[in-house]
Protein backbone atom coordinates (compact mmCIF):
# COMPACT_ATOMS: atom_id res chain seq x y z
CA UNK A 1 0.00 0.00 0.00
CA UNK A 2 1.22 3.47 -0.81
CA UNK A 3 0.01 6.86 0.42
CA UNK A 4 0.84 9.95 -1.63
CA UNK A 5 1.07 13.11 0.43
CA UNK A 6 0.60 16.23 -1.66
CA UNK A 7 2.30 19.00 0.25
CA UNK A 8 4.16 22.28 0.02
CA UNK A 9 6.38 20.91 2.81
CA UNK A 10 8.70 19.23 0.35
CA UNK A 11 11.49 18.46 2.83
CA UNK A 12 9.17 17.31 5.64
CA UNK A 13 10.29 20.09 7.95
CA UNK A 14 6.92 20.64 9.63
CA UNK A 15 5.96 18.59 12.67
CA UNK A 16 2.65 17.53 11.13
CA UNK A 17 4.42 16.03 8.10
CA UNK A 18 7.15 14.31 10.11
CA UNK A 19 4.74 12.89 12.68
CA UNK A 20 2.54 11.46 9.94
CA UNK A 21 5.46 9.86 8.06
CA UNK A 22 6.58 8.32 11.33
CA UNK A 23 3.14 6.79 12.01
CA UNK A 24 2.90 5.46 8.46
CA UNK A 25 6.37 3.87 8.86
CA UNK A 26 5.29 2.29 12.14
CA UNK A 27 2.27 0.79 10.44
CA UNK A 28 4.40 -0.46 7.57
CA UNK A 29 2.66 1.73 4.98
CA UNK A 30 4.69 3.09 2.07
CA UNK A 31 4.52 6.79 1.28
CA UNK A 32 5.69 9.34 -1.21
CA UNK A 33 5.81 13.12 -0.78
CA UNK A 34 4.58 15.00 -3.82
CA UNK A 35 5.32 18.67 -3.98
CA UNK A 36 3.09 20.45 -6.52
CA UNK A 37 6.21 22.08 -7.99
CA UNK A 38 7.94 18.76 -8.56
CA UNK A 39 5.09 16.57 -9.77
CA UNK A 40 4.13 16.07 -13.39
CA UNK A 41 1.11 14.67 -15.18
CA UNK A 42 1.76 12.55 -18.23
CA UNK A 43 -1.34 12.15 -20.39
CA UNK A 44 -0.50 9.74 -23.16
CA UNK A 45 -1.72 6.54 -24.81
CA UNK A 46 -5.12 6.85 -23.17
CA UNK A 47 -3.78 6.98 -19.61
CA UNK A 48 -2.98 9.60 -16.99
CA UNK A 49 0.26 9.00 -15.10
CA UNK A 50 1.59 10.95 -12.14
CA UNK A 51 5.38 11.38 -12.08
CA UNK A 52 7.31 12.23 -8.93
CA UNK A 53 10.24 14.67 -8.74
CA UNK A 54 12.59 12.04 -10.19
CA UNK A 55 10.22 11.31 -13.10
CA UNK A 56 9.15 7.95 -11.62
CA UNK A 57 5.49 7.02 -12.03
CA UNK A 58 3.53 6.90 -8.78
CA UNK A 59 0.25 5.01 -8.43
CA UNK A 60 -0.89 5.60 -4.85
CA UNK A 61 -3.80 3.75 -3.22
CA UNK A 62 -4.86 6.93 -1.45
CA UNK A 63 -3.89 10.61 -1.58
CA UNK A 64 -3.63 12.96 1.37
CA UNK A 65 -4.27 16.57 0.44
CA UNK A 66 -1.85 18.24 2.85
CA UNK A 67 -1.67 21.53 0.97
CA UNK A 68 -1.46 24.57 3.19
CA UNK A 69 -4.58 26.69 3.15
CA UNK A 70 -2.54 29.86 2.88
CA UNK A 71 -1.50 28.85 -0.64
CA UNK A 72 -3.89 27.68 -3.36
CA UNK A 73 -0.98 26.43 -5.44
CA UNK A 74 -1.24 22.81 -6.54
CA UNK A 75 -4.90 22.10 -5.91
CA UNK A 76 -5.18 21.02 -9.57
CA UNK A 77 -3.05 18.00 -8.70
CA UNK A 78 -5.62 16.94 -6.10
CA UNK A 79 -8.40 17.42 -8.65
CA UNK A 80 -6.51 15.30 -11.17
CA UNK A 81 -6.13 12.45 -8.65
CA UNK A 82 -9.85 12.67 -7.93
CA UNK A 83 -10.68 12.58 -11.63
CA UNK A 84 -8.70 9.36 -12.07
CA UNK A 85 -10.65 7.70 -9.25
CA UNK A 86 -7.96 7.59 -6.54
CA UNK A 87 -9.47 8.11 -3.06
CA UNK A 88 -8.50 11.56 -1.78
CA UNK A 89 -8.67 12.64 1.84
CA UNK A 90 -9.74 16.24 1.96
CA UNK A 91 -11.11 16.53 -1.49
CA UNK A 92 -10.44 19.70 -3.45
CA UNK A 93 -13.99 21.05 -3.18
CA UNK A 94 -14.00 20.92 0.63
CA UNK A 95 -10.51 22.37 0.83
CA UNK A 96 -11.65 25.33 -1.31
CA UNK A 97 -14.73 25.97 0.81
CA UNK A 98 -12.51 25.97 3.91
CA UNK A 99 -10.04 28.33 2.32
CA UNK A 100 -12.59 31.01 1.51
CA UNK A 101 -14.21 32.13 4.75
CA UNK A 102 -17.25 33.57 2.98
CA UNK A 103 -17.99 30.17 1.41
CA UNK A 104 -17.52 28.25 4.66
CA UNK A 105 -19.94 30.66 6.33
CA UNK A 106 -22.52 29.99 3.64
CA UNK A 107 -22.06 26.22 4.11
CA UNK A 108 -22.40 26.50 7.92
CA UNK A 109 -25.62 28.48 7.49
CA UNK A 110 -27.13 26.10 4.94
CA UNK A 111 -26.44 23.21 7.37
CA UNK A 112 -27.93 25.04 10.36
CA UNK A 113 -24.62 25.43 12.23
CA UNK A 114 -24.53 28.32 14.71
CA UNK A 115 -22.07 31.07 13.79
CA UNK A 116 -21.76 34.82 14.37
CA UNK A 117 -23.73 37.12 12.05
CA UNK A 118 -21.59 37.86 9.02
CA UNK A 119 -21.63 40.24 6.07
CA UNK A 120 -19.26 39.71 3.17
CA UNK A 121 -18.67 40.62 -0.46
CA UNK A 122 -16.11 39.84 -3.17
CA UNK A 123 -15.80 43.63 -3.49
CA UNK A 124 -16.38 46.32 -0.91
CA UNK A 125 -19.66 48.08 -1.75
CA UNK A 126 -19.96 51.39 0.10
CA UNK A 127 -23.39 50.36 1.36
CA UNK A 128 -21.70 47.66 3.45
CA UNK A 129 -20.64 50.02 6.24
CA UNK A 130 -24.12 51.27 7.20
CA UNK A 131 -25.62 47.79 6.85
CA UNK A 132 -22.87 46.23 8.98
CA UNK A 133 -23.21 48.90 11.66
CA UNK A 134 -26.98 48.59 11.75
CA UNK A 135 -27.35 44.82 11.59
CA UNK A 136 -24.16 43.37 13.12
CA UNK A 137 -23.63 45.95 15.86
CA UNK A 138 -20.24 46.73 17.37
CA UNK A 139 -17.49 45.76 17.81
CA UNK A 140 -17.04 44.11 14.44
CA UNK A 141 -14.37 41.62 13.44
CA UNK A 142 -12.81 42.05 10.01
CA UNK A 143 -11.18 38.93 8.50
CA UNK A 144 -9.37 38.43 5.20
CA UNK A 145 -11.30 36.02 2.95
CA UNK A 146 -8.37 33.68 2.74
CA UNK A 147 -6.53 34.33 5.99
CA UNK A 148 -5.10 31.86 8.50
CA UNK A 149 -3.35 32.07 11.88
CA UNK A 150 -5.14 35.27 12.82
CA UNK A 151 -3.19 37.33 10.27
CA UNK A 152 -5.09 40.49 9.37
CA UNK A 153 -8.03 39.67 11.66
CA UNK A 154 -8.89 43.08 13.14
CA UNK A 155 -11.29 44.34 15.79
CA UNK A 156 -13.23 47.42 14.65
CA UNK A 157 -14.72 49.15 17.65
CA UNK A 158 -15.59 52.64 16.46
CA UNK A 159 -18.01 53.55 13.68
CA UNK A 160 -15.30 55.52 11.93
CA UNK A 161 -13.02 52.49 11.96
CA UNK A 162 -15.68 50.45 10.14
CA UNK A 163 -16.20 53.13 7.47
CA UNK A 164 -12.41 53.54 7.12
CA UNK A 165 -11.77 49.80 6.76
CA UNK A 166 -14.46 49.33 4.11
CA UNK A 167 -13.21 52.38 2.16
CA UNK A 168 -9.61 51.08 2.25
CA UNK A 169 -10.67 47.65 1.05
CA UNK A 170 -12.73 49.24 -1.73
CA UNK A 171 -9.68 51.20 -2.92
CA UNK A 172 -7.60 48.02 -2.97
CA UNK A 173 -10.36 46.08 -4.70
CA UNK A 174 -10.13 43.56 -1.86
CA UNK A 175 -13.00 41.34 -0.72
CA UNK A 176 -14.59 42.02 2.63
CA UNK A 177 -15.69 39.79 5.49
CA UNK A 178 -17.20 41.39 8.59
CA UNK A 179 -18.55 39.50 11.57
CA UNK A 180 -20.23 40.36 14.87
CA UNK A 181 -17.80 40.15 17.76
CA UNK A 182 -18.82 37.34 20.12
CA UNK A 183 -18.34 38.19 23.83
CA UNK A 184 -16.41 35.22 25.22
CA UNK A 185 -14.57 34.02 28.32
CA UNK A 186 -11.16 35.05 26.91
CA UNK A 187 -10.68 31.82 25.02
CA UNK A 188 -11.91 29.79 22.10
CA UNK A 189 -11.75 26.08 21.31
CA UNK A 190 -9.91 24.18 18.60
CA UNK A 191 -11.53 20.84 17.82
CA UNK A 192 -9.81 18.37 15.52
CA UNK A 193 -12.10 16.17 13.44
CA UNK A 194 -10.78 13.09 11.63
CA UNK A 195 -13.06 10.84 9.60
CA UNK A 196 -16.31 12.19 11.04
CA UNK A 197 -15.17 11.99 14.66
CA UNK A 198 -14.10 14.81 16.99
CA UNK A 199 -10.90 13.20 18.28
CA UNK A 200 -9.74 15.94 20.62
CA UNK A 201 -9.97 19.59 21.62
CA UNK A 202 -7.98 22.32 23.30
CA UNK A 203 -8.96 25.65 24.76
CA UNK A 204 -6.82 28.47 23.48
CA UNK A 205 -6.53 31.15 26.10
CA UNK A 206 -5.97 34.70 24.88
CA UNK A 207 -2.94 36.39 26.39
CA UNK A 208 -3.68 39.23 28.77
CA UNK A 209 -4.63 42.35 26.81
CA UNK A 210 -5.16 40.38 23.59
CA UNK A 211 -8.41 39.25 22.08
CA UNK A 212 -7.23 36.78 19.42
CA UNK A 213 -6.45 33.28 20.62
CA UNK A 214 -4.42 31.87 17.70
CA UNK A 215 -1.33 30.17 19.06
CA UNK A 216 0.68 32.32 16.64
CA UNK A 217 -0.92 35.38 18.31
CA UNK A 218 0.33 34.17 21.69
CA UNK A 219 -2.73 32.04 22.55
CA UNK A 220 -2.03 29.39 25.18
CA UNK A 221 -3.43 25.88 24.63
CA UNK A 222 -5.08 24.04 27.53
CA UNK A 223 -6.92 20.70 27.71
CA UNK A 224 -10.63 20.82 26.81
CA UNK A 225 -13.05 17.91 27.12
CA UNK A 226 -14.94 16.97 23.95
CA UNK A 227 -18.52 17.02 25.21
CA UNK A 228 -21.27 15.53 23.06
CA UNK A 229 -22.46 19.03 22.12
CA UNK A 230 -18.99 20.30 21.22
CA UNK A 231 -18.19 17.17 19.23
CA UNK A 232 -21.50 17.41 17.38
CA UNK A 233 -21.03 21.01 16.23
CA UNK A 234 -17.44 20.37 15.10
CA UNK A 235 -18.37 17.21 13.18
CA UNK A 236 -21.32 19.03 11.58
CA UNK A 237 -19.04 21.92 10.55
CA UNK A 238 -16.54 19.53 8.93
CA UNK A 239 -19.40 17.70 7.19
CA UNK A 240 -20.97 20.92 5.94
CA UNK A 241 -17.92 21.76 3.83
CA UNK A 242 -17.03 18.13 3.13
CA UNK A 243 -13.73 17.80 4.99
CA UNK A 244 -12.44 14.45 6.31
CA UNK A 245 -9.75 16.15 8.37
CA UNK A 246 -10.47 19.54 9.90
CA UNK A 247 -9.51 21.93 12.66
CA UNK A 248 -12.68 23.70 13.74
CA UNK A 249 -12.54 26.95 15.74
CA UNK A 250 -15.48 27.23 18.13
CA UNK A 251 -16.25 30.10 20.51
CA UNK A 252 -18.41 29.99 23.64
CA UNK A 253 -20.85 32.84 23.15
CA UNK A 254 -23.71 33.96 25.42
CA UNK A 255 -26.09 31.71 23.42
CA UNK A 256 -23.75 28.71 23.32
CA UNK A 257 -21.22 27.40 20.84
CA UNK A 258 -20.64 29.22 17.58
CA UNK A 259 -18.29 28.15 14.80
CA UNK A 260 -15.74 30.81 13.81
CA UNK A 261 -14.00 29.05 10.96
CA UNK A 262 -12.63 25.76 9.68
CA UNK A 263 -9.11 24.72 8.65
CA UNK A 264 -8.33 21.97 6.16
CA UNK A 265 -4.82 20.88 7.15
CA UNK A 266 -4.63 21.96 10.77
CA UNK A 267 -1.35 22.28 12.59
CA UNK A 268 -1.46 19.73 15.40
CA UNK A 269 1.93 20.49 16.88
CA UNK A 270 1.36 20.85 20.66
CA UNK A 271 -2.33 20.09 20.16
CA UNK A 272 -1.27 16.42 20.33
CA UNK A 273 0.26 16.71 23.74
CA UNK A 274 -2.26 19.10 25.24
CA UNK A 275 -5.34 17.24 23.94
CA UNK A 276 -3.70 13.88 24.66
CA UNK A 277 -4.44 12.42 21.23
CA UNK A 278 -2.15 11.12 18.53
CA UNK A 279 -3.61 13.07 15.60
CA UNK A 280 -1.00 11.80 13.13
CA UNK A 281 -1.83 8.19 13.92
CA UNK A 282 -5.56 8.80 13.56
CA UNK A 283 -4.88 10.33 10.15
CA UNK A 284 -2.72 7.33 9.22
CA UNK A 285 -5.60 5.01 10.23
CA UNK A 286 -8.08 6.98 8.13
CA UNK A 287 -5.78 6.84 5.09
CA UNK A 288 -5.41 3.07 5.44
CA UNK A 289 -9.21 2.66 5.71
CA UNK A 290 -9.81 4.77 2.62
CA UNK A 291 -7.16 2.91 0.64
CA UNK A 292 -8.80 -0.42 1.53
CA UNK A 293 -12.42 0.64 0.98
CA UNK A 294 -13.91 -0.90 -2.16
CA UNK A 295 -14.20 1.64 -4.97
CA UNK A 296 -17.29 1.91 -7.18
CA UNK A 297 -15.18 0.64 -10.10
CA UNK A 298 -14.43 -2.56 -8.12
CA UNK A 299 -18.08 -3.65 -8.42
CA UNK A 300 -18.86 -6.28 -11.03
CA UNK A 301 -20.17 -4.67 -14.22
CA UNK A 302 -23.65 -6.21 -13.94
CA UNK A 303 -24.35 -3.99 -10.92
CA UNK A 304 -24.13 -6.65 -8.21
CA UNK A 305 -22.06 -5.62 -5.23
CA UNK A 306 -18.93 -7.56 -4.32
CA UNK A 307 -20.84 -9.23 -1.44
CA UNK A 308 -23.91 -10.18 -3.29
Query: Which positions touch ligand ADP (CB under 6 A)?
Result: 116, 141, 143, 147-151, 153, 179, 181-182, 184, 188, 212-214, 249, 251, 260-261
Burial class of residue 14 in the structure, from the number of CB atoms within 10 Å of its CB (0-12 exposed, 13-18 middle, 19+ buried): middle
Task: Kindly tell me which of 99 and 282 has the beta carbon lying closer to ligand ADP.
Answer: 99
Among 249, 251, 266, 280, binds Mg ion (CB under 5 A): 249
Task: Kindly tell me which of 149 and 174 has the beta carbon lying closer to Mg ion.
Answer: 149
- For the bound state, the minimum distance from the C-beta of residue 121 to Mg ion, rounded and expressed in Å, comes to 21
Stretch of residues binding Mg ion (CB under 5 A), selected from 46-54, 62-70, 173-181, 243-251: 243-251
- For the bound state, the minimum distance from the C-beta of residue 160 to Mg ion, rounded and expressed in Å, comes to 27
Rounded CA-CA distance 285/194 in Å is 10
Contacts to Mg ion from residues 7-26, by CB under 5 A = none
Site string for Mg ion, 154-173 (x = CB under 5 A): --------------------
- For the bound state, the minimum distance from the C-beta of residue 177 to ligand ADP, rounded and expressed in Å, comes to 9
Quick one: what does residue 116 bind among Mg ion, ligand ADP, none, with the CB cut-off 5 to 8 Å set by partner type?
A: ligand ADP
Rounded CA-CA distance 251/157 in Å is 19
Task: Kindly tell me which of 59 and 151 has the beta carbon lying closer to ligand ADP.
Answer: 151
- For the bound state, the minimum distance from the C-beta of residue 209 to ligand ADP, rounded and expressed in Å, comes to 14
- For the bound state, the minimum distance from the C-beta of residue 148 to ligand ADP, rounded and expressed in Å, comes to 5
- For the bound state, the minimum distance from the C-beta of residue 84 to Mg ion, rounded and expressed in Å, comes to 33
Site for Mg ion, rule CB under 5 A: 249
Amino acid sequence: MQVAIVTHDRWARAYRTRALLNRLDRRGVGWVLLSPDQTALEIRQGAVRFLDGAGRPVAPNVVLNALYLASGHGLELIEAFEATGVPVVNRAAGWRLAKIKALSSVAFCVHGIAQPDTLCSPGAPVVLSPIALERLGRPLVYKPWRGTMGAGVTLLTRRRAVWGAVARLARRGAPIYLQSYVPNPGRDIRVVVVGGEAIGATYRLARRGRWKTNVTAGGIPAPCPVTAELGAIAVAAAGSVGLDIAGVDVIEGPQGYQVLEINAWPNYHRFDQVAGVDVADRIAQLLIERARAPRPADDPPDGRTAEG
